[in-house]
């Protein structure tokens, strides 16, 4: 699931079909400071997603999560192909003199592998909150753990200047819509017991 999602994301991220659109940088985007050190929170998503999946012990919930996550990826890839957006990273250059070596290396590597396109909707936000949703009816401790961690990652997409605020709103909206469809309107077949 995650491999397919990564492949789709990288393909649309590096090879857009049409020229990406730059969105308006709103006052709220300008008010959020650029904090390169938060890149460590940002890249913790690579641990968050598989951990959220592996931590869940509800097979029915995992089944819904699996299909809804693939649908989310496909929906976002269609949007990225049809209407690509780009973030003006040149407004926030990375200063090696004021950034620690490890942070500068991590951030530079991120910007090389993850170009400034594929902004709206934020797939970070959408994937995080779709993952959090599988814990809404389980243990409250797990739900709050993933909600707090996921929200910190979502905020870091703004402080690393990878996303506009509207990207997060759109990401949350598409995640909620897909979760609702796969939770309430998709019929899942019961596994048959072995004969």
pLDDT tens digits, 41-95? 999 999 999 999 999 888 888 888 889 999 999 999 999 988 999 999 999 999 9
| Residue 190 binned pLDDT confidence (cut-offs 50, 70, 90) | low
Angle between helix 165-184 and 123-133 (nearest 10): 40
Question: pLDDT at position 192, please?
Answer: 56
Check if the beta carbon of residue 131 is closer than 8 Å to that of residue 150.
Answer: yes
pTM of the predicted structure, to 2 decimals: 0.89
The whole-number average pLDDT for the span 96-114 is 91
In the DSSP assignment, the letter for residue 92 is S
| Residue 85, strand partner residues | 21
Alpha-carbon span 42 to 62, nearest angstrom: 24
Nearest to 73 by CA among 4, 20, 120, 125: 4
* Whether 89 contacts 26, CB under 8 Å: no
């Amino acid at each position: 699931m995650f491999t397919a999602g990564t492949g789709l994301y990288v393909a649309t991220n590096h090879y857009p079909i049409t020229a990406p659109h730059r969105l308006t940088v709103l006052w709220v985007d300008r008010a959020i400071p650029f904090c390169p050190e938060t890149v460590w929170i940002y890249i913790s998503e690579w641990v968050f997603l598989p951990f959220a999946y592996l931590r869940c012990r509800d097979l029915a919930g995992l089944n819904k999560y699996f299909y809804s996550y693939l649908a989310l990826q496909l929906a976002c890839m269609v949007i990225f192909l049809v209407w690509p957006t780009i973030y003006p990273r040149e407004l926030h250059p990375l200063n090696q003199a004021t950034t620690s070596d490890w942070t500068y290396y991590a951030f530079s590597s991120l910007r090389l592998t993850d170009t400034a396109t594929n902004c709206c909707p934020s797939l970070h936000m959408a994937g995080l909150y779709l993952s959090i949703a599988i814990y809404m009816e389980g243990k409250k401790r797990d739900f709050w753990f993933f909600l707090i961690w996921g929200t910190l990652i979502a905020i870091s997409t703004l402080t690393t200047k990878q996303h506009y605020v509207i990207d997060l709103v759109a990401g949350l909206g598409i995640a909620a819509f897909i979760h609702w469809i796969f939770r309430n309107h998709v019929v899942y077949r019961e596994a048959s017991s072995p004969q």
